[in-house]
Amino acid sequence: MEPSISIKNLALSFGNLNVLKDLNLEVGQGEFLVLLGSSGCGKSTLLNCIAGLLDVTDGQIFIGGNNVTWEEPSKRGIGMVFQSYALYPQMTVAGNLSFGLKNAGLPKAEIEERVNRAAKILQIEPLLNRKPAALSGGQRQRAAIGRALVRDAQVFLFDEPLSNLDAKLRADLRVEIKQLHQQLSNTMIYVTHDQIEAMTLADRIAIMRGGLILQLASPNEIYNRPANKYVAEFIGSPTMNFFDGEIDAGAGTFNSQGQSFTLAGYAFEAGSAPTGPAWFGIRPEHMVSGAEADSAPVRMQAKVELVEPLGSDTLARVAANGHTLWVRLDGQISIAAGDELAIGFDPARANIFDKTTEDRL
Amino acid sequence: MDNVNQNASAVSTEMVGPRGQKPTKVFSRRNIMIYGTLIVISLYYLLPLYVMVVTSLKGMPEIRLGNIFSPPVEITFQPWVKAWAEACTGLNCDGLSRGFFNSVRILVPSVILSIIIASINGYALANWRFKGAETFFTILIVGAFIPYQVMIYPIVILLREVGLYGSLTGLVIVHTIFGMPILTLLFRNYFASIPQELFKAARVDGAGFWGIYFRIMIPMSLPIFVVAMILQVTGIWNDFLFGVIYTKPDLYPMTVQLNNIVNSTQGVKEYNVNMAATILTGLVPLLVYFISGKLFVRGIAAGAVKG
Amino acid sequence: MAAARAPARWHKNISAKIAAIPMITTALVVFIGGTAWTVLYSFTSSKLLPKEKFVGLAQYDRLWSSSKWLISIENLAIYGFFSLIFSLLIGFVLAALLDQKIRFEDTFRTILLYPFALSFIVTGLAWQWILNPDFGIQHVVRSMGFENFDFDPLYNPDIVIYGILIAGLWQGTGLIMCLMLAGLRGIDEDIWKAAKIDGIPMWKTYIFIVIPMMRGIFITAIVLIASGIIKVYDLVVAQTGGGPGIASEVPAKYVYDSMFLSQNLGQGFAASTMMLVTVAIIVVPWAYLEFGGKRRG
């Protein structure tokens, strides 16, 4: 099937500053793509380029098979939702939804029908005659989505739409956006710096850094097989534990600070283990403790330094063989700072990265 | 048929059609409109200054024969010398220099006194909030809207009672009074934006009203003092009404003297001297404006808040 | 333990109260006292010196039958109307032009604002010279061959107030532009993006979205311009001296002339009271909307 959005060799620079570099991206019909990265990585810039709010320096953008590189934003067949909602404050919700359509010269009946349909989908019918100032954060968000909805756009662009909301509301609206996507099956591109939003919403995540896409894959793949050390550190909380050391391909072991442990079970990208300096990463939740640790392929004796009970689980910072590691433990475990703790893990769940390129091995 | 379409769309997603930067001309219609309008309007705004300068550098014969926009054929600084040192107002023929020094003598104490009083007012209002403070502040702000003409004469009487009518001291007091509403507002808002915790911490440490004012508030508020100074220097230097009412001819500030020189009905009009005198009078606020740059904008924006 | 009792109320914040004495004095004596005094004495027949000889509304009768006052009022109305319209219009258009991410923005802003640093006296004298029919614009255009070109606003009683208006706008629009620019900069950039995606042309975005969002700035600007209009005095004194004849008189000048030149204090008080009433008519509804509304909200 033809991709819904196709970006070819896109570049954008402001003077000497290259914000986007030779970027290629294809988004399938009805796909939910999340652009994820820390601030300044170019994710919002990319979204603005797709929307036509920024003129690109090089490359092409296709939406629905049409080359829209030079097209006006309003003629690209997109709807957009902004972080600040950007609702027109002196118009009612209905006015906000219909203003663009009126301007495009649509017949009155059709405008009314579209507004009502969008209001029904978003359940904001009772709010249509209110002004944005009289709405709660979540309601404003829905009105902003409504404005995109009435445009009958094939593609929805979201620019950090939940960042201005408190944690509880953010979780609720996340679910709503996901439901909306299931209901409408439009193509959606969603920019965020929040990894939970990215993991929960996305069909695929594009992790960006310095104007480049570091990895474009499903949330599962990103979590389990990060393409490089940056992605591995960016996803997951607490962040992945790293051992600095060397792979001994002959012995099939990883040597770090005098300790040596087996790499049996780890699937190397190249099929077999290369020798050389590397980072060995293991997520806190992939570490086991106590009796389970005894049967783990790699075992260590650790001393608990700090405990953070979260209820559902417990985070512990431990010192083992001169490493500081975070371990995610059962929520009901009773440990305290100073306790001795046996920990272990299975190298099959690890992530190994080249020391210099930081790419996955 | 389907196949053909399929191929066509496959081709269309290859590198065909528009690519890269949208072609924009430097001389697009939009740019010509924007820059053209701005340049024409800028020239219009610069015109009076230009005309004043060229006129002041011409001799009277050249002014009578030529046009006011043409640059001087023969540059002469004589009008400037005359405006500064020889031009007559009434019986005094020592030029605008007298007005200049009068204005300086009015300006310096007025600026200092008005800023001291207003900053203390603002501090008391923002941090100490004694009973009734807001009422007096409201009266002050409402007072800023009362036309000066309403209060002119009562002040004449008050100053006459204390023997200050017609003196520079009297005028300094008048400037302090009429500068008070806007400056107090300025300082009050600024002090209120300083975290209250700082004030509370100082009180816990045992500092009193004056201790906090001098050791915490003033050092933290230099920018607002500069803004207030810009506001007052231009405002007081440019004043005409109070100068003409509350001083005597010997003590007239520069603006009043300038008006008397230029609009005097006696003698032959010397337009070059008049223009030199006009520029001289405008020089102080212009210098303040060009040196202070963005702070000036901030000052007038703050001043605008009063309205 | 009695010594640990809270000090008496008047003693509380005593330093702050002492420090506020100048403010309290100004507020009570000058602003309230002075205003009340002037209003009160506008009902007297004071001539050279204030006298408590009350004559009811006689001063107001005289005022409203004086042609000089009527011309002053008419001039103020014309000047005020056009000053308000053009200041807002020019100020907003200039601000919008400067807000187009242009180069040399600082230079343009510096040029457009510098007249505001100059006094009305300097402004008036500069424009008096440019509008001088024998040397200024009229002379230059005539010498280019247009012998019948007439442009002598300062010497033509019918249009003299427009000559003053030209100078007033030159001096004051920069300030309004700065205010408007600050207002435009305060508007969320996403609003512009949203309007672009909705396909709304730029001029429509300004008129239907941006200007309504700048309501507060417009009100501030209007109040500012209006209070400047009522105070207009120096400009007239410098540019025309009220002439030709009494064609460019304004109320503020009427007050000054009555009080200090024609020794007719009662007239001056009555005229200044009328000015106060005019200001109240403008300011009170605004203050009610601005602050009354806030307190309720």
Tell me the longest C-alpha to C-alpha distance in chain C: 98
Chosen for mutation from A4, A25, A49, A70 (greatest number of chain B CBs closer than 10 Å) is A70
Query: Using one digit for the tens of pLDDT, what is the confidence trace for A116-149?
Result: 999 998 889 999 999 999 998 888 988 999 999 9
Q: Which of A59, A65, A61 is nearest to A29 (CA)?
A: A65
Contact C13, B128 (CB under 8 A): yes
pLDDT score, position A271:
82
Chosen for mutation from A25, A67, A75 (greatest number of chain B CBs closer than 10 Å) is A67
pLDDT score, position C8:
53
The span from the CA of A78 to the CA of A149, in Å, is: 9
pLDDT score, position B5:
40
Whether residue A238 has a cis bond before it, omega within 30° of 0: yes
User: How large is the average pLDDT for residues C272-283?
Assistant: 90
Report the DSSP beta bridge partners of residue A282.
A241
Whether residue C244 has a cis bond before it, omega within 30° of 0: yes
Nearest residue, CB atoms, A57 vs list B9, B20, B24: B20
Contact A87, C209 (CB under 8 A): no
Query: Using one digit for the tens of pLDDT, what is the confidence trace for C106-124?
Result: 899 999 999 999 999 999 9
The A residues from 181 to 200 touching B (CB cutoff 8 Å) are none
In chain B, what percentage of residues exceed pLDDT 90?
A: 44
The span from the CA of C167 to the CA of B254, in Å, is: 20
* pLDDT band at B102; cut points 50, 70, 90: very high
Name the pTM for this structure.
Answer: 0.87
pLDDT score, position B223:
86
Instruction: Name the minimum distance, in Å, from the CA of C201 to any CA of chain A.
Output: 9
Q: Which of C69, C45, C72 is nearest to C57 (CA)?
A: C45
C2-18 burial, b for 16+ CB within 10 Å, e for fewer? eeeeeeeeeeebeebbe
Nearest residue, CB atoms, B289 vs list C37, C117, C135: C117
Nearest residue, CB atoms, A86 vs list C191, C204, C212: C191
Contact A189, A5 (CB under 8 A): yes
pLDDT score, position B57:
93
Residue A51's SS3 state is helix
Instruction: Name the minimum distance, in Å, from the CA of C5 to any CA of chain B.
Output: 19
pLDDT score, position B142:
86
∠ CA B219-C11-B115, rounded to 5°: 30
More confident residue, A42 or A165: A42
pLDDT score, position C10:
61
Q: What are the respective helix, strand and coil percentages of chain C, to the nearest 5?
A: 75, 0, 25
**CB of B153 within 8 Å of any CB in chain C?**
yes
Flag whether pLDDT at B307 surpasses 50.
Answer: no
Report the DSSP beta bridge partners of residue A204.
A33
* pLDDT band at B236; cut points 50, 70, 90: very high
Flag whether pLDDT at C7 surpasses 70.
Answer: no
Residue C57 tokens read as: 């509304």
The span from the CA of A231 to the CA of A229, in Å, is: 5
Per-domain residue ranges for chain B? 2-78, 97-305
Using alpha carbons, list the distances in angstroms from residue A311 to A284, A307, C268. 16, 12, 81
Quote the crossing angle between the two packed helices A108-122 and A137-149, to the nearest 10°. Answer: 140
* pLDDT band at B304; cut points 50, 70, 90: low
User: How large is the average pLDDT for residues C31-42?
Assistant: 94
Query: Using one digit for the tens of pLDDT, what is the confidence trace for A47-94?
Result: 999 999 998 999 999 998 889 988 899 989 899 999 888 999 999 999
Of B138-147, C62-71, C185-194, least confident by mean pLDDT is B138-147
Strands A58-63 and A66-67: antiparallel
The span from the CA of B9 to the CA of B221, in Å, is: 66
Chosen for mutation from A14, A44, A53, A97 (greatest number of chain C CBs closer than 10 Å) is A53
Taking only Cα atoms into account, the Rg of chain B, rounded to an integer number of angstroms, comes to 29
Ordered DSSP codes for B88-141: -BTTB-S-THHHHHHHHHHHHHHHHHHHHHHHHHHHIIIII--TTHHHHHHHHH
Residue C125 tokens read as: 């004298």
Taking CB atoms within 8 Å and a gap of at least 24, the contacts of C134-141 are C135/B63, C135/B64, C135/B67, C135/B68, C135/B271, C136/B68, C139/B67, C139/B68, C140/B67, C140/B68, C140/B69
Residue C81 tokens read as: 């109307």
Query: Using one digit for the tens of pLDDT, what is the confidence trace for C168-224?
Result: 999 999 999 999 998 998 899 999 999 999 999 999 999 999 999 998 889 888 888
Give the CATH number of domain B97-305.
1.10.3720.10
The span from the CA of A312 to the CA of A340, in Å, is: 22
The span from the CA of C133 to the CA of C140, in Å, is: 9
The amino acid present at C15, given as its one-letter code, is: S
What are the chain C neighbours of A78 within 8 Å (beta carbons)?
197
What are the chain C neighbours of B176 within 8 Å (beta carbons)?
22
Flag whether pLDDT at B2 surpasses 50.
Answer: no
Flag whether pLDDT at B272 surpasses 80.
Answer: yes
Using alpha carbons, list the distances in angstroms from residue A302 to A288, A289, A319, A322. 12, 10, 5, 10
Return the CATH fold of A241-354.
OB fold (Dihydrolipoamide Acetyltransferase, E2P) (2.40.50)
A5-234: CATH homologous superfamily?
P-loop containing nucleotide triphosphate hydrolases (3.40.50.300)
pLDDT score, position B302:
62
Instruction: Name the minimum distance, in Å, from the CA of B21 to any CA of chain A.
Output: 5
Average pLDDT, chain A: 90
The span from the CA of B279 to the CA of B287, in Å, is: 11
In chain C, what percentage of residues exceed pLDDT 90?
A: 60
∠ CA B33-B300-C114, rounded to 5°: 50
Contact A124, A140 (CB under 8 A): no
User: How large is the average pLDDT for residues A233-254?
Assistant: 90
Contact C238, B282 (CB under 8 A): no
pLDDT score, position B15:
55
For the ranges B14-23, B122-131, B181-190, C29-38, the one whose mean pLDDT is highest: C29-38
Residue A204 tokens read as: 């695929």
The H-or-E segment that residue A157 falls in is strand A155-159
Query: Cβ–Cβ of C129/B275 closer than 8 Å?
Result: yes
Contact B56, B87 (CB under 8 A): no
Residue B162's SS3 state is coil
The span from the CA of B164 to the CA of B173, in Å, is: 9
In CATH, the architecture of C57-296 is Orthogonal Bundle (1.10)
Contact A295, A338 (CB under 8 A): no
Strands A187-192 and A32-36: parallel
Query: Cβ–Cβ of B20/A8 closer than 8 Å?
Result: no
The H-or-E segment that residue C167 falls in is helix C160-185
The span from the CA of C223 to the CA of B303, in Å, is: 12
Residue where the block lists tokens 């309230």:
C32
The span from the CA of C291 to the CA of A17, in Å, is: 47
Phi, psi of A287 (to 5 degrees): -100, 145
In chain A, what percentage of residues exceed pLDDT 90?
A: 57
Flag whether pLDDT at B89 surpasses 80.
Answer: no
Flag whether pLDDT at A212 surpasses 50.
Answer: yes
Query: Cβ–Cβ of A67/B17 closer than 8 Å?
Result: yes
Contact A247, A230 (CB under 8 A): no
What are the chain B neighbours of C17 within 8 Å (beta carbons)?
130
**CB of A134 within 8 Å of any CB in chain C?**
no
Flag whether pLDDT at C144 surpasses 70.
Answer: yes
CB atoms within 10 A of CB C145: 7
Per-domain residue ranges for chain A? 5-234, 241-354
Contact C116, C228 (CB under 8 A): no
Nearest residue, CB atoms, C31 vs list B146, B234, B271: B146
In chain A, which residue's Cα lies nearest the Cα of B23?
A70
Query: Cβ–Cβ of C199/A48 closer than 8 Å?
Result: no
Contact B197, B220 (CB under 8 A): no
Query: Cβ–Cβ of B130/C17 closer than 8 Å?
Result: yes
In chain B, which residue's Cα lies nearest the Cα of A9?
B20
User: How large is the average pLDDT for residues B71-91?
Assistant: 86
Residue C274 tokens read as: 């009328």
User: How large is the average pLDDT for residues B109-119?
Assistant: 95
Chosen for mutation from C188, C192, C197 (greatest number of chain A CBs closer than 10 Å) is C197
The A residues from 37 to 56 touching B (CB cutoff 8 Å) are 55-56
Return left, alpha or beta for C224; rule: phi > 0 is left, psi -120 to 50 is alpha, else beta: alpha
Alpha carbon A46 to chain centroid distance? 15
Residue B89's SS3 state is strand
Alpha carbon B260 to chain centroid distance? 23
The span from the CA of B137 to the CA of B141, in Å, is: 6
What are the chain B neighbours of C27 within 8 Å (beta carbons)?
136, 139-140, 143
User: How large is the average pLDDT for residues A323-352?
Assistant: 90
